[in-house]
């Protein structure tokens, strides 16, 4: 860059004024800034691409061996060289879905309360406490799950769902209930993603203009009608953005889920049955994997997780696009 700057100053035939020279210098600064920021911006997608390529290459031996059965078969037997990741894919999707179903209404409720209903002095401390949930390490969630959540799942949650709500006959709540289950994993994930959804949602709701609220109230809306018809529709796309952020976290969460899901590579309709997730599978087996095919199979699981995350994100973006279009 100094090479470029030096000749201009010396060979300037017209004897430019100091001001113009300064402007020129700042123009160089602009160019450098432009190049630098472009380079930084390009580095991120490039990194993503490199990760995708290296995972893809490492995963290829297992994927080409197992073919489509890698994602459809449910036999995961390392010794026999059978790698069917279907139970782990199913477990990742189901546990994340449970988490979203539980966390979304809760997070929305917290955010609406904090932005619309709570007195000002309560907003900061409660908001801070909810955000603090995000700062707890996931292994601590796992430990808490083992000592508190799992006994609770066994009693009273299990009997409550089965007997009190009479769901025992449905396949979703059948079979023995040891506590370590898909449901337990979903519940812990719900708690973990709650602060992400609620933090974003709260800010979005606070960003809704006063005039929007005042207009609704002026038209005779009650407070609930004002929130439902004026505030929430305005904030819709931001809320969905928060949910996507939470979903991303739920799909990739490893430690806490591994500690609570029971790690059983089986697809069961019952939420009380143990399950497995892709992230848990990798975390469990990577450190002791020595055979090339086993390592490659674990990489392939990573690749599938990568693709599943991309697909889920794409669907979510499409939803945002639909919703914002509908709002106009």
Partner 1 sequence: MKRLIIAAVAFAALACSAEQSKDGNDSAAGASRSGSVDLTGAGATFPYPLYSKWFADYANQTGVRINYQSIGSGGGIRQLSEGTVDFGASDSPMNDEDIAKAKGRVLHVPTVLGAVAVTYNIPGLSAPIKLTGELLGELFAGKIAKWNDPRIAAINPGVALPASDILVVHRSDGSGTTFVFTDYLTNASRSWAAGPGRGKEIAWPVGLGGKGNEGVAGQVKQTPGAVGYVELAYAKQNRLPFAAIRNRAGNFVLPSPDGMTAAAAAVAEKLPANTDYRLSIVNAEGAQAYPISSFTWILLYEQQADAAKAKKLVDFLRWALTEGEKQASTLDYAPLPATMATQLLARLDAIKVGTAQ
Binding residues vs partner 1 (CB under 8 A)? 75-80, 82, 134-135, 137-139, 146, 150-151, 176, 178-180, 195-196, 199-200, 203-204, 207, 238, 241, 245, 249, 252, 254-255, 258-259, 262-265, 274, 280, 283-291
Our CA angle for 314, 244, 111, nearest 5°, is 155
Smallest gap from residue 9 Cβ to partner 1 (A): 41
Smallest gap from residue 235 Cβ to partner 1 (A): 10
φ/ψ of 6, rounded to 5, equals -60, -50
Residue closer to partner 1 (CB basis): 213 or 249: 249
Residue closer to partner 1 (CB basis): 208 or 216: 208
Residue closer to partner 1 (CB basis): 113 or 178: 178
Smallest gap from residue 140 Cβ to partner 1 (A): 10
What's the distance, Cα to Cα, between the start and end of the chain in Å? 48
Smallest gap from residue 308 Cβ to partner 1 (A): 18
Distance CA 123, CA 118 (A): 6
Residue closer to partner 1 (CB basis): 159 or 166: 159
Residue closer to partner 1 (CB basis): 29 or 50: 50
Smallest gap from residue 144 Cβ to partner 1 (A): 12
Residue closer to partner 1 (CB basis): 89 or 199: 199
Smallest gap from residue 230 Cβ to partner 1 (A): 18
Residue closer to partner 1 (CB basis): 23 or 132: 132
Distance CA 304, CA 52 (A): 11
Smallest gap from residue 281 Cβ to partner 1 (A): 9
């Amino acid at each position: 860059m100094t090479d470029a700057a030096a000749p201009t100053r010396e060979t300037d035939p017209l004897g430019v004024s100091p001001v113009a020279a300064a402007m020129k210098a700042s123009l160089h600064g602009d160019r450098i800034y432009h190049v630098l920021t472009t380079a930084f911006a390009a580095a991120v997608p490039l990194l993503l691409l490199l990760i995708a390529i290296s995972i893809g290459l490492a995963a290829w031996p297992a994927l080409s061996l197992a073919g489509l059965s890698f994602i459809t078969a449910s036999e995961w037997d390392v010794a026999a060289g059978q790698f069917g990741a279907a139970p782990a894919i199913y477990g990742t999707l189901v546990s994340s879905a449970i988490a979203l179903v539980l966390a979304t209404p809760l997070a929305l409720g917290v955010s609406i309360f904090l932005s619309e209903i709570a007195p000002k002095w309560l907003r900061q401390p409660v908001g801070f406490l909810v955000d603090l949930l995000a700062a707890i390490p996931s292994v601590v969630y796992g430990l808490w799950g083992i000592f508190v959540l799992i006994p609770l799942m066994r009693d009273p949650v299990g009997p409550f769902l089965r007997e009190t709500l009479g769901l025992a006959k449905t396949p979703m709540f059948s079979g023995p209930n040891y506590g370590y289950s898909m449901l337990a994993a979903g519940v812990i994930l719900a708690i973990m993603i709650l602060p992400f959804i609620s933090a974003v949602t709260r800010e979005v709701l606070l960003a809704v203009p006063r005039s929007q609220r005042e207009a609704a109230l002026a038209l005779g809306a009650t407070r609930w009608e004002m929130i439902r018809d004026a505030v929430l529709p305005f904030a819709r796309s931001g809320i969905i953005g928060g949910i996507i952020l939470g979903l991303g976290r739920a799909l990739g969460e490893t430690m806490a889920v591994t500690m609570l899901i029971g790690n059983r590579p089986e697809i069961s309709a019952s939420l009380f049955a143990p399950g497995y997730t892709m992230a848990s599978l990798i975390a469990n087996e990577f450190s002791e994997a020595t055979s090339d095919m086993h390592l490659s199979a674990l990489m392939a699981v990573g690749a599938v997780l990568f693709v599943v995350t991309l697909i889920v994100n794409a669907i979510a973006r499409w939803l945002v696009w639909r919703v914002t279009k509908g709002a106009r």
